[in-house]
Structure formats: structure tokens, C-alpha cells
Chain A
Amino acid sequence: MTALPAPAAPPPVPAPRRLAPLRRAVRASPLITAGGAIALLIVLAALAAPLLAPYPADAGSATHPEIALHAPSLRHLFGTDQVGRDVFSRVLYGARVSPLVALFVLLIACAVGIPLGVAAGYFGGVLDEIIMRVTDVFLAFPPLLLALAFATVLPASLTSLTIAIAITWWPWYTRLVRGQAASVAGRPYVEACRALGIQRWRILLRHVLPNSVTPVIVQVSLDVGGVILTASALSFLGLGAQDPTPDWGLMVAEGENYFTTQWWLVTYPGLAILLTALAFNLLGDGLRDVLDPRWVPGVRER
């Protein structure tokens, strides 16, 4: 685990300096700018879906069998699906499904993973051993595999999907934060806090935690894409969202049977998944370059 360069003084860092790396990143990398712009557009699309979608009711249980499987036209930009729903409206509303799953997964993963990581790294000893061996077990599964196993035994719903993915995701954060916290715990300013007789939980919350979470920010932005891909894959297999939820993965699965003749059913929702994952991966990538220059790419290491 690489340690960040030791800060000269504990936070708070003056605000303008915090924004400086961001500005540098935008200037240095066209990719991060592109990723950020697309990500912003997707968030806006999710928020404004009711205003932008030509047929908002089609994202719900409305059906129009008389116009089923129409090819893309000016009336239906992305065509209509097997029960006559407007694919464009459904793809737009889809920006509210798997990205939201990703948001909740990462919130849960951080809420569980970060405290455990800080505790393991700061206190060390037996607690550290126990927590890290448990994460070892979870990390012994490729994420999609463990999420799939949990999602299979839970009742199929978006909530189950979120829980199943969150269960597989928290150990990454524990591991990441633990390394940081362990190195922070040995720094002179933490020692100084202890010498001053500051309470343990106060040192943890005010000094160790804030100085351990920088890599988490990068990791979260990188993981949005990964979680969306995982969630879409599970929905494609029939775990997670159920019809009529306009979930992109589910839409691809539903279009599969008609795909040889009605190409638009699969193409557009899949493109939405690709574009979303790509946007957040580019964004996270650029952020990492800026915030953690010593990082080496590859699969996240064990």
C-alpha cells in the first residue's frame, strides 16, 4: 500500500489548493474532461427524464401492443419494444435505475468498509487480523461471481441486487483504507494528539479518518462504472430489476429474442450501459492520475 506524501500540516487545507489539482487535470487530460462531461449529461438526463422523455408513461406499466416493434423513426427515436413502449423514453429513465443502484452500493460499501478499515489500520493487533482475514475471504471471489451467488438466493428485486453487490464491494474499501490508516497512525501528528491526551475516538474521527480517505475518492469514482456493469450483468441474467422497470440490462435481455430482426431493442440500452461505464471510468482514471501519481494499473491487487 503506497502512502500518500506526508502532509506538512493536518487539515483543514485552504480551499483554493484543493481545487487546483482538478483544474490541472482538466487541462492535462482531454479524456477526463470528456468523461466528466458525459457523466454530467447522464446525471442530468436522470434528473430531467420526465421532462425529456417523449412518452414518460412508457417507463412504467403502459403498453401499446398496436405499435409493437416499430423501427426507429422521428416519433420513436429508438423505436418501440415488444409491447409497444418507446425505447428512447425507457433508456432515458434507465439512467435512474442502475446508476442509482451504483450510488447506493457505493454508499453502503463506504459506510461499512471505511470504518472497518480505519479501525483495523489504527488499532492493529488481533482486531486487524480478524478484519483483514474476513476481507481476504470476500476478495477471494471475482466481484460479479459473489454478487451473482447472493442475488440468486435473495428474492429478485432492485433492493436485493443492491445488497448483493454491496456485500461484495465493501472489502475493497476496508483494504484500501486500512493501509492508509496504518501509515497515518504512525505519523508524528497523531502521536502528538495521543501525547496531548486527546480521546481515542476523537483522534480517529478528526485526524486518522480524514487523512485516510483520499484514495477512496478515486476508487469510488472508478468503481461507479464497475458497479453499473455488474448490476447490468445481473439484471441481464434476470436477477434484480423486473419488467416493467426500465433497467438497461433487463432491456437488453428482453430484446435478445427479437434481436436478429429488431436490432434497436438491444443496441440502445447496451450503448447506454457502455457510455455510462466509460464516462465514469475515464473520470476516475483521470482523477487517479492527478491525485495518486504513483499508481500502477492492472486488476486491483490482492
Chain B
Amino acid sequence: MIRYAVRRAALALVVVAGVVILTFVIADVVPGDPAATWAGPHASAAQIVRARQYLGLDQPLPVRIGKYFGGIVTGNWGISIHTHRPVLSDIGTAAPATLELVIAALVIAVAVGVPLGLAAARWPGSLLDHGIRAGSVLGVSMPVFWLALILQLIFAQRLRLLPVAGQYDPNLIFSHPLATRTQMPVVDSLISGNWAVLGSALRHLILPALVVAAYPAGVVARMTRAQLLDTLGETHVQMVRSLGFSERRVLGTFAMKLAWNPVAAVLALVFAYSLVNTFLVESIFDWPGLGSYAAASVSSLDTPAIVGVTLFIAVIYVASNLVVDVVQAALDPRIRLR
């Protein structure tokens, strides 16, 4: 087991090294002339030359890759062009809000997707099954930025049931000041017992979280259904069935026990997908996270910031894959042999 974990970790490190090189290519090789971009559109030739020296672009490629690597490892991820702050500290400031949003979305995805998958597996081939399947394909086919705008229009602008944007009501800043520890309003207000802010924060969270949940909910529902139908063929599940347990118990208790593992694995994988989907959602809801930061960086063509966010999410993705693989191998010895 430990040998497997070490081997997987070593492989993940190689991949991360490759990821860093690929981001170097994006940051340094693909753009026509980063120095000209840095110096601005009205820069003189002399200014561009100075920018080139300042950015180290006059040095040979291997030296630049080495420096880039060194910077990444020591936490120097470059300076954002639009915020003029170090990219890594920008990411650190923005990440908690996004984490809160994505976790809320994944909770919704499980709360919706697993029961739907169970229902579909209970009556496979029925109208309900077809409906749930169509619904899950709909979730996967949804342009999230469009869903965000539509839900915002209906529930916030027209019906006025939910707030339009933001993390919580700004008026509460004075009446119920929030002690920030984690930068996540929901968690912070829970810790400090600030119920006014908690209520407001939850209401603000509903719409963006629902939008981000569309994709993972569809994936979870399909995964649950397929896994359940798979495990129904296993002998021990058939035995439980023949012992006369209700179909509900057979599916919900015995078959589902086996289905949780792959569902959890798929959740870890869609986590990174959802992080990227926040790029399209956060700016619509004025959510101060990584997604808003990335969208702003895209519109100002802020290469260091985009590359930083890209690297950050890719590393999270590789890490979550590693954790999934190792945990799965720990739970299921057959995997280690592959």
C-alpha cells in the first residue's frame, strides 16, 4: 500500500513539473512579446528594451525556465498587471470565497444527485428513470453563465426572493460586524454566532451555489444510478434481496454502501471542474473569489494572474486525483495491482 502511494505521489510530482513547464510556455513562449505588453501600448523602443531586461527576457530559455521554476517553488508567482500585487497573495485572498461557493455547490449536488440516482435505479427503464436521465444530461449541457443570468433575473430581479449579488448584506457590516477568520462569511458567522450575517450569507449563497451545482449534480445522479445498477448484480446484494429486505433497504442501505466510494471519487474530480466554472459565475453575482479574479484578469489580459490561477487549480486537480487514487487503493486492494 505504502509503495503504491509513494509511486503515485512520485508520478504526481512529475506531472506537476510538466504542468509548470506548460504554464511557462503559456506565459513566456506563446505571447508575441511580453515585454511590449508589460511596457504598455505607447512605450518607446528603449522602454521595451528596459522592460525586456527587467523581466529577464534577454536571457536564454533554459535560464528563464530555471528562474521560473525557482520562483514558483519559493512562492514568487509574479506580479498581477491589473492589481499590481503579487499573484500568489491575490490568489490567497480570493480562494476562500470560491472554496465556500464550490463546497456549497457540491453539498447541493450530493443532496440532489444521490436521491435522484437512487430513484432512477429503483425503477430502471421507467418514465421517471428517463426523466432523471434527461435532467442529468440537461445539467451537464447547461451553459452556466447563462443559467446564472436567468436565475438572477427571475429570483432576484423579478420575484425579489433572493439577493442579487454579493456575499452578505453590506448594511450588516456596521450593525453586526463580522470577525473574519477564514474569509468565508458562512463559516465566520457560524463560529462567532453572528446569526444576522449567517442568514444573509446563506441567502446570498443560494443562487450562485445552485448554478455551480448544475454540472456536478448531473454527474452525481448518473454515477449513483450506474453504480447502483452495477452492484445490484453482486451476489451479496442479491442475497439480501432474497432474504426479503424491502427494495428500499436493498438499494438505500446495502447497494448504496458500495456506490458511495465511486461517487466520492467523482466528486473529488468535479471539484476542480467546478472551480473553473466559478470563472463564469462569480462575476455575475459579484462574488469576490478566484472566479471574479480570473475573469477580471482575462479582460485585462493579465497573463501573470491567469497563469497563476491556472497553475493553482491544476495543482489542486493533481493533488485531489492523487488523494482519490490513494484512498481508493486503501479501500479496495484490487486497484493497487493495476
Point out residues on A near B: beta carbons under 8 Å: 30-31, 133-134, 136-138, 140-142, 144-146, 148-150, 152-154, 225, 229, 232-233, 236-239, 249, 252, 256, 259-260, 263, 266-267, 270, 273-274, 277-278, 281-282, 285, 296-299, 302
Contact = CB atoms under 8 A, between A and B. Distances in A.
B31 A153 contact: yes
B143 A273 contact: yes
A302 B141 contact: no
A260 B284 CA distance: 12
B72 to A, nearest CB: 15
B308 to A, nearest CB: 10
Interface string B5-48: 00000010011101101110011001100000000000000000
B239 interface: no
A140 B317 contact: yes
Contacts of B11: 136
Interface stretch (B91-99, B144-152, B179-187): B144-152
Contacts of A232: 143
A-B pairs with lowest CB-CB distance, top 9: A270-B146, A137-B18, A277-B141, A278-B141, A297-B222, A299-B269, A149-B310, A153-B31, A273-B143
Given A137-B18, A277-B141, A298-B262, A237 B310 contact: no
Contacts of A278: 137-138, 141
Given A136-B15, A237-B280, A270-B146, A285 B141 contact: no
A190 B198 CA distance: 66
Contacts of B314: 140-141, 145-146
Interface in B202-226: 219, 222-223, 225-226
Nearest to A233: B280
17 contacts: A133-B18, A140-B318, A145-B276, A150-B30, A152-B297, A152-B298, A153-B303, A237-B295, A237-B298, A239-B298, A282-B134, A285-B137, A297-B225, A298-B266, A299-B270, A299-B273, A302-B321
A276 B129 CA distance: 23
Interface in B137-176: 137-138, 140-146, 149-150, 153, 157
A44 B141 CA distance: 21
A133 B10 CA distance: 13
Interface string B295-324: 101110101001100100110011001000
A252 B295 CA distance: 15
Given A142-B272, A152-B303, A302-B269, A282 B137 contact: yes
A263 B153 contact: yes
A148 B279 contact: yes
A229 B143 contact: yes
Contact of A256 (B14, B18, B149, B321): B149
A162 B18 CA distance: 23
A281 B223 CA distance: 16
A152 B150 contact: no
A259 B317 contact: no
A164 to B, nearest CB: 10
Contacts of A263: 153
B143 A274 contact: yes
A236 to B, nearest CB: 5
B145 A252 contact: yes
Given A278-B138, A299-B269, A142 B313 contact: yes
A75 to B, nearest CB: 24
Interface string B260-298: 001000100110110111011000100000000011011
A146 B146 contact: no
A260 B157 contact: yes
B247 interface: no
A237 B307 CA distance: 16
B18 A140 contact: yes
A127 B281 CA distance: 41
B336 interface: no
Nearest to B154: A263
Nearest to A273: B143
